[in-house]
Amino acid sequence: MSVDQKKPGVTTAEASIDSGRRNFFRASAAGVMGASALLGIVPEQIRNSAWAAGTDAPEITEVKIGFIPLTDCAPIVVAAEMGFDKKYGIKIIPSKEASWAGVRDKVVNGELHAAHVLYGLMYGVQMGIGGQQKDMAVLMALNNNGQGITLSSQLKEKGVTSGATLKRLLDNENRDYTFAQTFPTGTHAMWLYYWLATYGIHPFQDVKTIVVPPPQMVANMRIGNMDGFCVGEPWNARAIFDKVGFSVATSQDIWTDHPEKVLGTTAEFIAKNPNTALAMTKAILEACRYIDATANRSKVAKLISGKAYVNAPEEVIEGRFLGHYDNGIGKKWEDPNYMKFFNDGKVNFPYLSDGMWFLTQHKRWGLLKSDPDYLGVAQKINQIKLYTEAASQLGISVPKDPMRSSKLIDGAVWDGKDPKAYAASFKIKA
Amino acid sequence: MLRVMLVDNHLERTAPLKQTLSEAGYEVIAHLTDTANLDDAVRKLQPDVVIIDTDSPSRDTLEHICVMSANTPKPILMCTHDGNTDKIREATKAGVSAYIVGGLTNERLKPIMDAAIARFDEFKALRHELNEVNSKLADRKVIEKAKGLLMKQRGIDEDEAYRLLRNMAMNQNIRLATLAEQVVQAAKLLL
């Protein structure tokens, strides 16, 4: 129901109080009519609830959210395209970005209000790695799983089909092998380094590491610029589709249900716009719930495949999006740990242990020179209180413990209890 | 003569800038369009300044080079097509050495380049200082902790604990903070 067409007063009040008070406040906020004049003519009881609700009106109603063309940008696109944003009184404007550094700069300087962003990048900015320090905020996690490591077809011809056979090749061949990831502090860098190290390969000493933006990975592999890369879907599937490489590992092999992209902004933004931050979290959380329903996935794949978003053939996105995996060298399987966006809210909760893990890896690889206050930093960035409020309002359960325990590919267990010892425990490190 | 590297995937857009730079006495050592070669080029050619388009995907590659080789970061100038002064000011605050908007004329070029390099040097000096202060602070914390442990374990006062630590560090020829860290770790295991 639209406020502008409705005469304020008893009629509004007698309609559903819930939708009534939202519109009621918007009417006054938009200056359709003086707030005080309105207040004068509604019954006392309604006036009180309207006033209380008034405090939760979004401070900014047009929210510009940046994204990089990847399957896991879906929550931003779905929230905007399918109207979950309007439900919470905001309009999300998705903004396609060319580089993660660009996303970072634009979030830091306020040109973007928020972004679909690499978990690790948020922590990198907080710690001032590679640029100016700025206090950041993770509102929620957007997805688990659905990234992967691709090796070139040339490596396959040399008999490489796994981490172990890759190690053997590197030990026996005297040439530089190059591996690409997507951002120095980001998630793909950390998955790639972790995976290589699991097989005894030092990511800086035994191979050369470069950074290539996600949509350019496949083209660069085709012309022989790299032997392997770690990136989010659909670009691993695309490499197989284009017959330039094969999947040697999925990120869920490295860490089942690992944290990946987040909805990120600055601490300054949420301090100034707490209601917008809440509305945005609710809209995107609801989009995540929508995407995770199997029945909706094909439709979402079609939606994000467009030129304005991921810009890749629908069939390349859809397969792995539905859990149908094919590694390109003869193995096909249904992956129960495919890209998840909701999983009853377990995906979206900003676990402190997830955030701290990236700090432990930044320390491990020398991006951080000394141990930070792991828990303190995570508590500052991850907005558990705001998330809990958003989730409760949507009836989504919130985990009781802000830490979770996971066993990674090398058998090591990460539970967030002793980050300093964990960070120091790896044999292969910078 | 300052050696400049241009990075832009739109050759025609940067061509006039290249000309302006040469005329103003800068040596344009490379003009790259390709992300993958950037890595090798920066390492090999060691430019004094890198000029790159704000919206270039290659920025991530450049970022990686700067982060991974802490000893060779270069001032980076961003070309942008957005002339909003507030945005530029914010971006500069965010650590970008300088933003160039639209075309560059000869007389504007030198001051902008000079300012970018000065800013960059200042930033680097501040960063260095910050790192030093931070590590001193961390040292102090661990030394305090080790002192506390000694005082409690051996029933001695603060001065005595400090003297013990200092003497031992001197005898072993290691940093006081290193010894303190060892004491704290040992205490964790033994106590």
Q: Do A109 and B93 touch (CB under 8 A)?
A: yes
Supply B166's token pair: 């200092």
Q: Identify whether residues B11 and B95 lie together within a single domain.
A: yes
What mean pLDDT value characterizes chain A? 88
A-chain CB neighbours of B35 within 8 Å are 212-213, 216, 220
Q: Considering only CA atoms, which of A144, A196, A73 is closest in space to residue A354? A: A144
Burial class (CB in 10 A: 0-12, 13-18, 19+), A45: exposed
E strands within B57-179?
76-80, 98-101
Closest alpha carbon within chain B to A204? B68
A-chain CB neighbours of B36 within 8 Å are 210, 212, 220, 225-226
What's the rounded Cα separation, in Å, for the pair B118 and B106?
19
Q: Do A102 and B59 touch (CB under 8 A)?
A: yes
Residue B63 lies in a domain: yes
Q: Identify whether residues B89 and B23 lie together within a single domain.
A: yes
Checking phi first, is residue A196 left (phi over 0); if not, alpha (psi -120 to 50) or beta? Answer: alpha
Nearest chain A Cα distance for residue B19, angstroms? 27
Cα dihedral sign, A212-A217-A221-A227: positive
Residue A41 CB neighbours (<10 A): 11
pLDDT given for residue A34 in this prediction: 29
Answer yes or no: is pLDDT of A113 > 80: yes
pLDDT given for residue B163 in this prediction: 92
Closest alpha carbon within chain A to B71? A130
Q: What is the pLDDT of residues A284-306, one digit of tens each?
A: 999 999 999 999 999 999 999 99
What's the rounded Cα separation, in Å, for the pair A159 and A166?
8
Q: What is the pLDDT of residues A238-292, one digit of tens each?
A: 999 999 999 999 999 999 999 999 999 999 999 999 999 999 999 999 999 999 9
What order do you get walking across the sheet with A245-250 strand by strand? A208-211, A178-181, A228-232, A147-152, A245-250
Least reliable range by pLDDT among A194-198, B45-49, B62-66: B62-66
Range of the domain at B164: 134-190
pLDDT given for residue B104 in this prediction: 57
Which ipTM value was assigned to this complex? 0.72
Closest alpha carbon within chain A to B185? A421
Domain termination site, one of B64, B88, B104: B104
Confidence of residue B109 (pLDDT cuts 50, 70, 90): confident
Q: Do B61 and A211 touch (CB under 8 A)?
A: yes
Q: Do B35 and A212 touch (CB under 8 A)?
A: yes
Answer yes or no: is pLDDT of A37 > 70: no
Cα dihedral sign, A63-A67-A73-A74: positive
Q: Do A110 and B131 touch (CB under 8 A)?
A: no
Of B36, B93, B134, the CB nearest to A210: B36
Instruction: List beta partners, residue B111.
Output: none
Answer yes or no: is pLDDT of B75 > 90: no
Q: For chain B, what is the largest distance between any 2 Cα atoms, rounded to a whole number of angstroms?
A: 77
Closest alpha carbon within chain B to A366? B68
Of A101, A134, A225, the CB nearest to B63: A101
Answer yes or no: is pLDDT of A18 > 60: no
Closest alpha carbon within chain A to B82? A111
Q: Do B67 and A215 touch (CB under 8 A)?
A: no
- Write the DSSP assignment of B16-84 as a string of letters: HHHHHHHHTT-EEEEEE--HHHHHHHHHHH--SEEEEETT-TTHHHHHHHHHH-TT----EEEEES---
**Is B90 at the interface with chain A, CB within 8 A?**
yes
B101-124: average pLDDT = 70
What mean pLDDT value characterizes chain B? 78
Q: Do B59 and A130 touch (CB under 8 A)?
A: no
Answer yes or no: is pLDDT of A185 > 90: yes
Q: What is the pLDDT of residues A153-182, one digit of tens each?
A: 999 999 999 999 999 999 999 889 999 999
Q: For chain A, what is the largest distance between any 2 Cα atoms, rounded to a whole number of angstroms?
A: 85
A-chain CB neighbours of B95 within 8 Å are 131-132
Alpha helices in A183-334 (DSSP H): 187-198, 217-222, 235-241, 251-254, 267-272, 274-292, 294-305, 314-321
Q: What angle do CA A421, A379, A383 make, to 5 degrees?
A: 140
Residue B74 lies in a domain: yes
What's the rounded Cα separation, in Å, for the pair A201 and A238?
26
Nearest chain A Cα distance for residue B94, angstroms? 6
Q: Do B64 and A226 touch (CB under 8 A)?
A: no
A-chain CB neighbours of B131 within 8 Å are 369
Q: What is the pLDDT of residues A327-361, one digit of tens each?
A: 999 999 999 999 999 999 999 999 999 999 999 99
Q: Identify whether residues B95 and B159 lie together within a single domain.
A: no
Q: For residue A262, what is the enclosing H or E element?
A: strand A261-266
Q: For residue A147, what is the enclosing H or E element?
A: strand A147-152
Q: Identify whether residues B95 and B158 lie together within a single domain.
A: no
Residue in A211, A223, A269, A418 to test binding to B, most B beta-carbons within 10 Å: A211
Residue scoring higher pLDDT (B106 or A134): A134
> What total of structural domains would you count in chain B?
2
Asked, as a colleague might, if the bond just before A234 is cis with ω within 30 of 0, I would say yes
Supply A281's token pair: 């979290």
Supply A95's token pair: 């903004």
Q: What angle do CA B26, B32, B37 make, to 5 degrees?
A: 130
**Is B96 at the interface with chain A, CB within 8 A?**
yes
Supply B123's token pair: 């930033």
A357 to each of A191, A264, A363, B55, B179, how far by Cα in Å?
Answer: 12, 17, 10, 30, 28
A-chain CB neighbours of B57 within 8 Å are 98-99, 213, 215-216
The CATH number given to whatever domain includes residue B17 is: 3.40.50.2300
Q: Where are the domains of chain A?
A: 10-53
